[in-house]
Structure 1
Amino acid sequence: MVLFVVVAVLAVVAVLAAFHWYAWRRLVRDTTHGPGPARRTGTVVIVAGPVLMITALVAERAGAPFWLQRVLGWPGFLWMALSIYLLLALVAGEAVRPLVRRLVERRARKQETAPLRAPVPAGTAPTERETEPEPEREPEAESPDSATVSTTPAAPSRRLFVSRVVGGAAAAAAVGTVGYGTYGVLRGPAVKRVTVPLAKLPRSAHGFRIAVVSDIHLGPVLGRGFAQRVVDTINSTQPDLIAVVGDLVDGSVKDLGPAAAPLSQLEARHGSYFVTGNHEYFSGADQWVEEVRRLGLHPLENARTELPAFDLAGVNDLAGESEGEGPDFTKALGDRDTSRAVVLLAHQPVQIHEAVRHHVDLQLSGHTHGGQLWPGNLIAAAANPTLAGLDRYGDTQLYVSRGAGAWGPPTRVGAPSDITVIELASRQA
């Protein structure tokens, strides 16, 4: 096992080193004349980026002092996102490079072959002598020195120009993409509204609204201010019930207790409920369960509560199995009245298969982030039965939120964050 981990780590390091060497070559070496301030600065950036990224990851997982996690988090995690889009942009640039080179060479040939004529005054017709073609002359032999001066600098200058155009465009595209994706996260999640009909829901509960929020990921980067924006957005929807379906934090209660404090302001007529996600088990799940309870939320640890119109149940995340606290569907759902509708809170969409076996009407999940960083959606879609949105499995419906925050880079591309208001509809209405 240890050998496997060592080999895996070395493989990851080798891949990172290869990519950053490629990025250095295209963005630094190929765009500079030679050793100098520009090349030195570019080299420092290309080397420091991955070092900060790896250090930020290690510091978070190793529980380094929180101030150090915060110092490393912003540059390290942003480089993680930037490196993805630099790689994609540079690869795309390889396809564009030959076209740019041909355009530059064609333009240069036109300039070199264009005839040099004295300007003709306006209104003056060319004379017969001027219109006759000049007799061809034997090309004069060029001295070695003149050949060197006239041709040698041209080729390198064209290559340099092409490299700067392609490299500059790739860097601008990557920075612009990450910048816009980061702005989208920091401004806070948008509100989505989805209507879900439930066959067993009584007419009295028609229009019951559940605000679903997942994957807030409070941590070294997203702190108290972000939590306040999430809380304000949820409260603005005036929900009947609030469901926090896991991955609230990336860190200990000691470090992130103040950041999570705005959760005490959540307001809903039937209360706020919480289930663990996999990241809670990286951060001290037992302590966080007690903390959210202190903040006024109701943890559902493989438990169920009976609301006036339907049952609300919750199961622990699969990551809890390593601590003997995994999901227990029988405990949460085994002795319920099956004539009543039941809504299940379960962090990971893959738990839908157990939900179907226990005749759940609706499961609310998160975990996927919708892929967070395109084309990560392709990987996330392969690992989860539903990537985002509403889906049906037999008689059980599954809704997957893309989440309110972000893990690692505070950046989303192609998967905007959301808080979803699920409006339950009775078929009897």
Structure 2
Amino acid sequence: MSMIILFPVLVALFFLLVHILAYTRIVEHLHICNSTRKALYFFLFVNMTAILGYVASRYLFSPPKLLYFFLSLSIGVGFVLFMGIVLYEFLRLIQRLVPFQEEKRRFFKRSSDIGFLALGSTYIGAGVLEGSKEPAVHYVDIDQKRFNGKRYTIVQISDMHIGGLIDKAFVAKSVAAINRLNPDLVTITGDLADAHIDILKDAVGELRHLKSRFGTYYVVGNHEYFHSIDDTIAYMKELGIHVLENSSLKIDDFYIAGVYDLAGYRADTHIPDIYEAMWGIPQDASTLLLAHQPKYIDYLEGFTPSLILSGHTHGGQIWPFGYLVTLAQPYLKGLHSLGDNRHIYVNSGIGFWGPPMRLGSHSEITCITWS
């Protein structure tokens, strides 16, 4: 099964299981009246239907923006239900293990049920509020003493996920914010769009207005493989953006290189190749590598880029899912030393995937001073 079909199918099946468990393990055990139980059952049914609508809207149709907001919010509700199942099972375990008197047990059950519902509602509200905030500019100083006192300003964005709520106006605002930083170069580290590029040309086209001394450089992320990666690459080149396809070039006193995403191994196309990307770069040269996923550091095959810029993780996007991300990725967000005067920076993403929510993370534009 191709990645284009497999990904939405897995998403739909995961959330279907979550909703079934939410009803059988939570709703059926709540101390509530039958009418409230029926209302919660109806809510679960509507939310699962909205999730299917969200998945379909990514591939089959483009709903009005307000409708898309509620469709995407259903994904966030699904995540809350998943965490709720874990939490509720923990509360039930406590109720069974602690030797309460029956009256106190019923009181604890009613109190925990009310608190559980209130906590879930607050969690969703806080996540939506944080997700609605403008991307923050995060300034990072990386002093590697490489350029005899010269300093380069690099602006990085990642994981914009254009499509749905991330529209032309959002991209235009982001471009204006980046241009105000007066960068030497701009880097885009993947997951740019979440639909076929033909649908998103007006929004993606705003990137042609990016201004910098040495231009804009782009590598694909895993989501580009879901929506005709070749068409996306071709359009980015039409915009005058440098697409790094296992390739490199020299910029002033350093080289910049970029690789395809690790998703290429599963898709069996556009496979990352560090040997090809670093070909012709002197071993002692200062090198900036763009690789969408932080775990690409495990595929460097002995090459030692001076600075690696990555994204993919969204900084966890919604707490506590960052802990799950760290099971697959070596770094969640921010600047990390790789030893020997080398670093990797992991951008938390300027956009979001799924629900318009963030909690414990923020959308960012990174302004790096590299020296």
**What's the TM-score, normalizing by structure 1?**
0.74
**TM superposition shift of 1:249:** 0.7
1:23-422 superposed matches below 5 A:
23-25=26-28, 30-32=31-33, 34-35=34-35, 40-60=38-58, 63-67=59-63, 73-86=68-81, 88=83, 92=87, 95=91, 163=110, 166-199=112-145, 201-203=146-148, 205-206=150-151, 208-321=152-265, 322-355=267-300, 357-395=302-340, 396-422=342-368
Instruction: Check 1:10–1:223 CA distance in 2 against 1; reply closer, same or farther (3 A cut).
Output: closer
**TM superposition shift of 1:337:** 2.5
- For the 8 Å contact 2:274–2:301, the answer to whether it is kept is no
**TM superposition shift of 1:89:** 5.2
- Match of 1:293, SS? helix
- Output the CA distance in 2 between the equivalents of 1:7 and 1:369: 20
Residue identity opposite 2:232 in structure 1: W
Residue identity opposite 2:221 in structure 1: G
- Output the CA distance in 1 between the equivalents of 2:212 and 2:283: 26
- Output the CA distance in 1 between the equivalents of 2:278 and 2:332: 25
- Which range moves more in the overlay, 386-395 or 325-334? 386-395
- Output the CA distance in 2 between the equivalents of 1:7 and 1:247: 19
- Match of 2:143, SS? strand
**TM superposition shift of 1:280:** 0.7
- For the 8 Å contact 1:198–1:341, the answer to whether it is kept is no
- For the 8 Å contact 1:368–1:388, the answer to whether it is kept is yes
- Match of 2:21, SS? helix
**TM superposition shift of 1:86:** 4.5
- Output the CA distance in 2 between the equivalents of 1:18 and 1:234: 45
Q: Note the residue ranges of structure 2 that are not aligned, 5 or more in a row.
A: none
- For the 8 Å contact 1:78–1:410, the answer to whether it is kept is yes
- For the 8 Å contact 2:313–2:333, the answer to whether it is kept is yes
- Output the CA distance in 2 between the equivalents of 1:359 and 1:314: 13
- Which range moves more in the overlay, 245-254 or 326-335? 326-335
- For the 8 Å contact 1:55–1:72, the answer to whether it is kept is no
**TM superposition shift of 1:225:** 2.5
**TM superposition shift of 1:196:** 1.2
Instruction: Check 1:92–1:338 CA distance in 2 against 1; reply closer, same or farther (3 A cut).
Output: closer
**TM superposition shift of 1:404:** 1.0
Task: String of CA shifts for 1:158-182, please: whole Å, max 9, x gaps.
Answer: 87x974x544443333233222222
- For the 8 Å contact 2:28–2:37, the answer to whether it is kept is no
- Output the CA distance in 1 between the equivalents of 2:138 and 2:314: 15
**What's the TM-score, normalizing by structure 2?**
0.84
- For the 8 Å contact 1:366–1:403, the answer to whether it is kept is yes
Q: What is residue 129 of structure 1 aligned with on the other side?
A: none
- Match of 1:306, SS? strand
Residue identity opposite 2:206 in structure 1: P
Report the identity percentage: 30
Q: What is the RMSD of the two structures over their aligned residues, measured on CA atoms?
A: 3.2
Instruction: Check 1:20–1:191 CA distance in 2 against 1; reply closer, same or farther (3 A cut).
Output: farther
- Output the CA distance in 2 between the equivalents of 1:10 and 1:356: 37
**TM superposition shift of 1:317:** 1.0
Larger radius of gyration: 1
